[in-house]
C-alpha cells in the first residue's frame, strides 16, 4: 500500500512521547518545509513562481523571517513583492460603490484578493498533502497492525483538533466494531491524559507555595509546555 512510505514518520511520532503525536508529525513536516525553503530550492524557477504567487501565511512568514539565510529570504520576498504589485495594478481604475442603509454593495475584487492573499501559503500547501497521508496511515496501521494498535492505545492522547481529525478519518476507514473501539479508546486517551496534565499543573502551582519550595518537581517542570500542546496544538521547542 502507498501508506508504507509514511509508516516510519508515523511510528516515530507515536514513539516520541509527545502530548499529541499528530502535532509532533505536523511540526516535523513544518520544520522540514522551512529548511527546504531556505535551502537551494528557492533558486528553482518553478518553486519561486509558486512562492511569488502564493506567498506565506503569517505563522510561516514569522518562521522564515528568523532563519539565518538572509540573502535567500530577501530574494524570495523581492520577487514576491514584484508579483503582488503586478497583481494589485490589475485592479486599478475599477469602480466600487459605497455601502448604504438599503443596499449592501458587492465586495470589491481588491478586498476579495486581499483576503485570498492573506490565506494563501506555499508552506501550508506543501504540507497539506503529506499530512493528509500521515492521518490516513495512522488509521491504516491501526486497522492492520496489532503492534501499532498497542502503541496507539498507550500514547498520551491528542489535541482537540487532531482528535477530531482522527475520528473523522476513522469513520472513513474502519468498520463498525473496530470503529467503536477506536472511538472509545481515543476519547479515553483524551480524558485520562487531560487528568494527568491537570494533576501536573496542580503540582506546578503548588510549587509556588513556600511550603513546597524544596519539594521535587515530579513531572511538573514542563507542565505548561505540555499543556499547550493539548489545548492548542503548540509544540514548544
| Chain positions contacting Zn ion, by CB under 5 A | 20, 22-23, 57, 60, 121, 123-124, 159, 162, 233
Helices (H), the chain: 7-15, 21-38, 45-54, 58-65, 70-89, 109-119, 122-144, 146-153, 160-173, 176-206, 223-232
Question: Which lies closer to Zn ion via its Cβ, residue 13 or residue 159?
Answer: 159
CB of 143 to Zn ion, least distance (A): 21
Judge residue 106's burial from the number of C-beta atoms within 10 Å of its C-beta, 0-12 exposed, 13-18 middle, 19 or more buried: exposed
Question: For cell 503586478, what's the residue?
Answer: 86
Question: Which lies closer to Zn ion via its Cβ, residue 138 or residue 223?
Answer: 138
CB of 73 to Zn ion, least distance (A): 15
CB of 145 to Zn ion, least distance (A): 21
CB of 63 to Zn ion, least distance (A): 9
Question: Which lies closer to Zn ion via its Cβ, residue 163 or residue 207?
Answer: 163
Q: Are the beta carbons of 123 and 30 closer than 8 angstroms?
A: yes
Question: Which lies closer to Zn ion via its Cβ, residue 78 or residue 128?
Answer: 128
Amino acid at each position: 500500500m502507498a501508506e508504507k512510505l509514511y509508516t516510519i514518520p508515523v511510528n516515530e511520532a507515536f514513539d516520541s512521547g509527545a502530548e499529541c503525536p499528530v502535532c509532533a508529525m505536523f511540526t516535523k513536516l513544518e520544520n522540514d518545509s522551512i529548511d527546504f525553503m531556505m535551502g537551494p530550492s528557492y533558486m528553482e524557477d518553478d518553486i519561486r513562481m509558486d512562492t511569488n504567487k502564493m506567498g506565506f501565511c503569517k505563522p510561516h512568514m514569522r518562521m522564515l523571517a528568523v532563519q539565518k539565510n538572509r540573502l535567500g529570504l530577501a530574494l524570495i520576498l523581492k520577487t514576491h513583492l514584484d508579483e503582488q504589485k503586478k497583481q494589485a495594478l490589475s485592479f486599478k481604475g475599477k469602480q466600487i460603490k459605497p455601502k448604504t442603509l438599503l443596499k449592501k454593495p458587492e465586495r470589491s475584487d481588491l478586498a476579495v484578493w486581499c483576503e485570498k492573499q492573506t490565506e494563501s501559503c506555499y508552506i501550508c500547501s506543501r504540507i497539506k498533502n503529506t499530512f493528509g497521508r500521515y492521518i490516513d496511515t495512522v488509521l491504516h496501521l491501526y486497522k492492520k497492525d496489532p503492534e501499532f494498535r498497542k502503541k496507539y492505545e498507550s500514547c498520551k492522547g491528542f489535541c482537540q483538533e487532531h482528535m477530531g481529525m482522527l475520528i473523522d478519518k476513522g469513520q472513513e476507514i474502519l468498520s463498525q466494531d473496530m470503529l467503536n473501539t477506536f472511538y472509545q479508546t481515543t476519547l479515553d486517551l483524551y480524558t485520562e491524559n487531560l487528568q494527568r496534565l491537570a494533576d501536573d499543573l496542580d503540582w506546578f502551582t503548588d510549587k509556588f507555595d513556600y511550603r513546597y519550595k524544596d519539594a521535587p518537581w515530579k513531572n511538573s517542570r514542563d507542565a505548561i509546555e505540555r499543556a499547550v500542546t493539548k489545548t492548542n496544538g503548540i509544540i514548544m521547542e
